[in-house]
Chains A and B, each alone.
Chain A
Amino acid sequence: MSATALTSLRHDQRFRFALLTFPGALFVLVFLILPLLSIVVFSLWRTENYEIISDWNIENYKVILTTATYLKFLGRSVLMALAVSAICLVYAYPVAYLIAKHGGRFRLILILLTAAPFLTGVILRVTAIQHILGPIGLVNMALTTFGIEPIEVLMYSNIATAIGLVYLWIPFMILAIYLSLLNFDFELLEVAKVCGAKPWRAFIELTWPLNRMGTMIGIILVFVPTLAANVTPKFLGGVNGSLYGNILDHQFGATGTWALGSAMGVVLFVVSLVFIVIVWRSVNLRRSGFTGMESRQ
């Protein structure tokens, strides 16, 4: 028997694996990574008369990183994203915990119900929130009808934007924590109880660390889109509520400054990446989710 026949079964497996998994990966690489790379390139060029000219320069980055306005908006967006992520985290955790631990046979329907609104799309959701919060939204109209002053802060403000962003993205946080908790052995908490740990202690010592990975994923999944938010602040934020995403959007609309817009996009991506790396390392630097396994570094 030839040597090739002998090893064919193993090669066969590798071939089949590649055949199944490579096409989609290639698809993502070409249609996600390639365009991203292209805007990196464009960010280093120039715009003139609504056209991109391949004139290598770093002017765009200089503008973004030195002009106060851009930095201010970037900073505002970062703060907003952090705040929204924090709020989502604090609220999502107990809810996900409840469904995971006590949901029983209703777990699926409960979690699907939290996820479903996300599928209706950002515009409709913002519309819906606007009609609760806005000046002629339910809350304020109700108040006005009863002769009470409308709540200023709820309409066209950063608070409204924050509420809107939480409304949009909390399903992601819930889902990420929920999926992590599904694999968590709640019996461990019983063990902790027997060893004398009070509930809060058990949470800090066991639940939180063992689910850190899922929690961090949830935080990232909320932070990244929130950082780039443009629809929500536009319709809920009011005149002074613009965020980085709005200015970014602007570059591709009225002003047609493609190169600057590309640079802004790259900056946005880099900031997101930095955040992801920070969060990732905070998971790996301590004992990772799997008991007893010291992670690298």
Chain B
Amino acid sequence: MSAVNPGERLVITSQTVMLIILYLFLYFPIFYITYLSFASNSVWPFPPEFTWEWYQRLGIMSDFHAGLRNSLIIGIGSGVVAALFATIAVIGILKYPMRGRGLLIGIYLSPLFVAQVLIGISTLMFNRNVLGLPGHIGSAIIANGTYGLSFAFLVLMAQLLRYDWRLDEVAMVFGARPARCFFEVTLPSVWPAVLGAFVVSFLLGFNNFDISFYNLGAIPTLPTIAWGTLRHGIEPELYALASIVNALVFVGLILLYVLIRSGYVRLGVPED
């Protein structure tokens, strides 16, 4: 570590200020919405008056339960699809250094470079005019699965790069057959990353609008309900919805952090 001279100190300070402003920028709206969700006056909620009303109204909103259920299904469905495909793909790519690797990585990351809207409308058209299917959850799961696959891939890649694939060879030398290698050596080190990838893909699918919107037609999801509410103007039930979702994401974030941290230990990364 070098000595920090005044010039550098200025740089670090200004960067820190920028970071703090960024966090405020990112999170203040979120906190404000949560605050609003408990406030009886949504337009100018000062001084604060606490109420559960909006949450109750959310609960009885016609599509809410259906939307919640569908969002969960899409989230879990696309999460599982993404995590599964991404896990075996990352293991294959990292374990067997073959020549086609670069191309394959490109394929797995390609959804990131296609706008979600495009994914949505193209799957809509494909389903409708090629397969002759109306909007349905399956196609939403698949479409979200492709998008989530890229994220799952990145999460797994970032974590599993730290894993020493030669350990499989070591296990083999000491008597483990290939399947046993996987369960004794690879899986224990790797499952936090897999779960982390699932969490990320789940949240993306659960909260997705642009892709699911086109695929589902009239079938509600939480984001489409939110969108519908937003179009009609300000309805505080929306804030309650937002707060719930944000809380969910927050829980997911903590889980992700714990998983990645535990992954560090399992993979033998020393503390900074």
Indicate if A touches B (C-beta under 8 A). yes
Q: Select which of B119, B210, B252 is within 8 A of A122 by beta carbon.
A: B210
Identify the stretch in A13-21, A56-64, A283-291 within 8 Å (CB) of chain B at 4 or more residues: A13-21
Given A21-B104, A104-B272, A108-B261: A249 and B117 within 8 A (CB)? Answer: yes
Within 8 A of A (CB), among B1-33: 2, 7-8, 11-12, 14-16, 18-19, 22-23, 25-30, 32-33
Residues 232-254 of B, flagged 1 when their CB comes within 8 A of A and 0 if not, give: 00100011011001100110110
Q: Is the CB of A123 within 8 A of B253?
A: no
CB distance from B131 to the nearest CB of A (A): 10
Within 8 A of B (CB), among A120-154: 120-129, 131-132, 136, 138, 141, 145
Chain B residue numbers with a CB within 8 Å of A113 are 23, 26, 253
User: B230 interface residue, CB < 8 Å from A?
Assistant: yes
Find the B residue at minimum CB distance from A29: B107
Q: Is the CB of A32 within 8 A of B7?
A: no
Q: Is the CB of A128 within 8 A of B29?
A: yes
Given A99-B19, A224-B115: A145 and B44 within 8 A (CB)? Answer: yes
State in angstroms the CA–CA spacing of A20 and B88 once bound together: 5
Chain A residue numbers with a CB within 8 Å of B245 are 120-121, 124
Chain A residue numbers with a CB within 8 Å of B7 are 199
Question: Interface residues of A: mostly helix, strand, loop or mixed?
Answer: helix
Q: Select which of B18, B117, B242, B261 is within 8 A of A228 by beta carbon.
A: B117
User: B124 interface residue, CB < 8 Å from A?
Assistant: yes
CB distance from B161 to the nearest CB of A (A): 10
Given A24-B108, A28-B111, A108-B261: A98 and B26 within 8 A (CB)? Answer: no
State in angstroms the CA–CA spacing of A268 and B210 once bound together: 15
Q: Select which of B30, B32, B146, B261 is within 8 A of A138 by beta carbon.
A: B32
Residues 38-55 of A, flagged 1 when their CB comes within 8 A of B and 0 if not, give: 110010000000001000
Q: Is the CB of B209 within 8 A of A34?
A: no
User: A185 interface residue, CB < 8 Å from B?
Assistant: no
Q: Is the CB of B29 within 8 A of A231?
A: no
User: A205 interface residue, CB < 8 Å from B?
Assistant: no
State in angstroms the CA–CA spacing of A19 and B210 once bound together: 32
Find the B residue at minimum CB distance from A221: B112
Q: Is the CB of B226 within 8 A of A127?
A: yes
Residues 109-132 of B, flagged 1 when their CB comes within 8 A of A and 0 if not, give: 011111111110111111001100
Chain B residue numbers with a CB within 8 Å of A27 are 81, 85, 145-146, 149
Find the A residue at minimum CB distance from B91: A20
CB distance from A107 to the nearest CB of B (A): 7
CB distance from A192 to the nearest CB of B (A): 12
User: A85 interface residue, CB < 8 Å from B?
Assistant: no
Chain A residue numbers with a CB within 8 Å of B241 are 124
Given A21-B92, A231-B210: A98 and B33 within 8 A (CB)? Answer: no
Q: Is the CB of B110 within 8 A of A28?
A: yes
User: A165 interface residue, CB < 8 Å from B?
Assistant: no
Q: Is the CB of B15 within 8 A of A34?
A: no
Chain A residue numbers with a CB within 8 Å of B129 are 38, 42, 52, 258
CB distance from A155 to the nearest CB of B (A): 13
Q: Select which of A19, A99, A109, A199 is within 8 A of B257 by beta carbon.
A: A109
Q: Select which of B25, B32, B110, B242 is within 8 A of A167 by beta carbon.
A: B25
Q: Which 10 A-B pairs have the closest CB atoms?
A: A20-B92, A121-B207, A24-B85, A228-B115, A128-B29, A35-B122, A35-B126, A98-B15, A17-B96, A21-B92
| 15 pairs, A vs B, C-beta closer than 8 Å | A21-B104, A25-B89, A28-B146, A32-B114, A34-B126, A38-B125, A38-B129, A119-B252, A121-B206, A121-B245, A138-B32, A199-B8, A224-B115, A231-B227, A252-B214
In the complex, given contacts A20-B96, A98-B16, A122-B210, what are 10 additional A-B residue pairs having Cβ atoms less than 8 angstroms apart? A20-B95, A32-B114, A94-B18, A102-B12, A117-B30, A128-B33, A145-B44, A224-B114, A245-B117, A276-B113
